[in-house]
Structure 1
C-alpha cells in the first residue's frame, strides 16, 4: 500500500472531483436511494426477525440468550467483514467487492430457512454479517469518493432517511409475516431484497474510485494505515463516540423484543409498532440535522444529539427503578433517545470520514464500521448479565445510561484534543 499521508487537518483534505454523471440533481437523488438500499441491508437483517425471537427460540428449542447470540454473531460478522472488504475496495475498486458481498448475503439468507438449530443459524448469521458488510462499508467509501465537508453531511442525512426506513419497516413487516407463516418467511424477504439490490448495483452504480487513486493492499501497508488512523484524534474521537452511541441503541434493539413481550406483555405486532414509532424518532433527528447543516457547526450538532439521547435514557432508568414504566411511556422515552442518536450518527460519521484522504476512505470506513458493530454487539450483551441470564428493563436501561455517559465524555475529551490539532 502506498504511503499516502493521512491528513490531520481538514484543510489538507482535498475536494473530490465530481464525475459528470453525478452533476445532475436527479442522479444525486437516485444515488441516495441506491446507497440507502445497500446500507439498509444490514439494519433490515437485524430488525426484520426481531418480533420472531420468542417463536424462533421455541421452534429451535433454544434459550433467549442463544437466539440473541444469532444477532450478536451477525454484528461481529459485520465488524470483521468491513475490516476485510473496506481495504480491499481501496485496492480493487468499489463495484466488485460490493457485488460479491451481495451474492453471498443472498445465498446465506435462503440457507437460514433450513437451519435445524440455533447453533447453525448463528454460524449462518455470522457469514451473512461478513457479506452484508460490503454494502455498509463501501457505501460510506463511495460518499467519500464523491463528497466532503457539508456536502457529505447533507448526503449522509439524506442517506439516513432512506436507511431509517429499514429499522422502521423491518419489525412491522416481520410482525405481519408472522401472521402469514413461520419465522422463516423473514429470511425469504431478506433474500428477495438482497437480490433486488444486486440488480440495481449491477445495472446502475458505476465505479467511483478511479484506477489512479487506488492503493494496492498488503498486510504491512494496511497495518500502517490502521495504526495512523487510530493515532489520528480527528478520526478516533468521532469513531469511538459513534461506536458507544450505537452500542447504546443496539442494547435497546437486541433486548427490547423480549422485554416488551415477556416483561410488559406486548404482542409481536405491538412490539413492531413501538419499534417503528421509535425509529421515526431516528428519522426526524437525521432530517433536522440535515436542515441545520450550514447553520450550526457539525461538532455542536453532535454534542446536542449526545445530550438529548443521554437525557432520555436517564429517564428510562428512572421509569425502570420506580416501576412506573408502561408501553406508552417507554415509547415516548425511546423515541426521544432515537431522535438524539439521529444527530449523532451522521455527524460522527462525517467528522471521521472527512478527516481522511479519499485514497484510504475504504480502510477508514472499514475501521469505523468494525468498531461500531463490534462495540454494539459486544457491549449490548451486558444487558443479559442478570441472575436469570435474560435481559430486563432494568438491566437494559442501566447499560444504556452507562454507554451514553461514556460516549459524551469521550466526545468532550477527544473533541477538545482534536480542536487543538485542527
Structure 2
C-alpha cells in the first residue's frame, strides 16, 4: 500500500487534519453553550469549565506524550491517543450531568493530545529549520479552515440534531484520521531514545529546555500570543451571544471571519521568514498582535460596545498570531533534534496550560460585559511583544540543523 511521502501535499493535509482535531474539539461545540446550560441546568462558568478542563488536559498531557513519543516512536502513540479520543467522544453522547461531561472532556483531551504533539515532532524529524517553519505555516493555513468552519457547522448540527451530535461528528473525524495513520503513514523517528521515560532523564530534559534562552523565549512568545486567541475562544460565546445579541446559529460566521485573519498570517509568515529570517517575522507578528489587542481595549474603554469594535481588532490580532505561532514553534524546537517530542510537549504545556487558566479567569470575572475578555486579549498581545524582545530576539541559534 502506497505511503504518504513527507514532501507531498497529502502528507501536509494529513498533519493538518490531525492537529486540527484539537481546535475542532473546542470550536465546534462553542455554539452549543446555551444548549448545554439548559440541558444540564448549569451556570455559564460550569459550562465554560468543559472548555477549560479540556485545554488544561491537553497542556498537561503533553508532558507525558513528549517522552512517550521519543521512546516508542510517533505512529504508535498517535494511534493510541486517537483511539482514546474516539471512545471518550462516544461516551459524551450519554452524559446526563455537567460533571460527567467535564470528566469526559478531560479524557478527550488525554487522547487528542497525541494528535497535537506528534505531528509537530514529525515535522522536526523530517525537515530542517526553514523548511519546518514553512511546513508548520502550511499546516496552519489548512488547519485554519477547521476553526473557520467548525462553529458554523457545529451550530447547525446542534440546532437540527442536538448538542450530542457534535461529539458524534468529532469521534468520527478522529476515527478517520486514525485509519489514515495506520494505513498510509510511516514512522518518522529514526532512532528511539531508550532513556526517554526514565524520571531523571525526563526531569533533565525539561530542565535543559527551560534553561535554554531560545526555547523559552519562543515558547513564551507563542504561548502568550495564543493566550489572546484563547481568550476570544473562551469569552466570545458569552460576549457575542449574551452581550451583543448574536444568534447562536450565526455565531460561527463571526468566529470564522476572525479565523480568516489567522489563515492570512500563516500565508504571510513564511514569506517574511524567507526574506528576513525567522526572528524578524516573529517580531513583526508580535507587534501586529499588540496593535490588535491594544486597539480592542481602547475601543472598549471609549464606550464602543459593538460587534465591529470586537471583530475588527481581533482580525488584526489573529493575523499577527498566524505569523507568530508556526514560526515560534519552529524556533523553539529547532535546537533539539534529539528530543523534539519533549520540546514540542513542553511548549504545548506552557501554551495551553496558561490558556486554560485565562479561560477560567475570563468566565470567573464575566460581568455581562466584554471587559474581562477584552482586557485579557490586550494584555496578551502587549506581553507577547515584550517577552519576545526580552528573550528570543537576537537569541543564539546554535544547534539548528542546516538546510
TM-score interval (norm. to shorter)? over 0.9
Contact 1:289 1:343 in 2 (8 A): yes
Matching residue of 2:256: 276
Question: Partners of 2:343 and 2:32 in 1: how far apart?
Answer: 35
**Residues of 2 paired with 1:160 and 1:250: CA distance?**
16
Deviation of 1:391 (Å): 6.4
Question: Given the alignment, which residue of 203, 207, 216 partners 1:227?
Answer: 207
Between the aligned partners of 2:49 and 2:197, the Cα distance in structure 1 is 33
Query: Is 1:324 equivalent to 2:301 in the alignment?
Result: no
TM-score normalised by length of structure 2: 0.95
Residue 339 (structure 2) aligned to one of 360, 367, 377: 360
Aligned position for 1:406: 383
1:378 counterpart = 2:357 = yes
Partner of 2:163: 183
Any unmatched runs of 5+ in structure 1?
1-19
- Asked whether the equivalents of residues 380 and 399 of structure 1 are also in contact (C-alpha less than 8 Å), the reply is no
Partner of 2:219: 239
CA distance in 2, matches of 1:408, 1:216: 34
* 1:329-355 CA-partner distances (Å, limit 9, x unpaired): 422221111111101101110110112
In the other structure, the counterpart of 1:151 is: 131
Return the offset for 1:233. Answer: 0.5
- Call closer, same or farther: CA 1:86–1:391 in 2, change over 3 Å: farther
**1:384: Cα distance to partner?**
2.8
Shift of 1:213: 6.0
Matches within 5 A, 1:23-422: 27-211=7-191, 215-356=195-336, 358-386=337-365, 389-390=366-367, 392-416=369-393, 418-419=395-396
Segments of 5+ residues of structure 2 without an aligned counterpart are none
Q: Compute the displacement of 1:417 (Å).
A: 6.9
Cα 1:214/1:28, change in 2 over 3 Å: farther
Aligned length: 398
Q: 2:88 and 2:353 mapped to 1: Cα distance?
A: 21
How much has 1:235 moved relative to structure 2? 0.6
CA distance in 2: counterparts of 1:392 and 1:36, whole angstroms = 35
Q: Name the SS of the counterpart of 1:114 in structure 2.
A: coil
Distance of aligned partners of 1:215 and 1:165 in 2 relative to their CA distance in 1, 3 Å threshold: farther
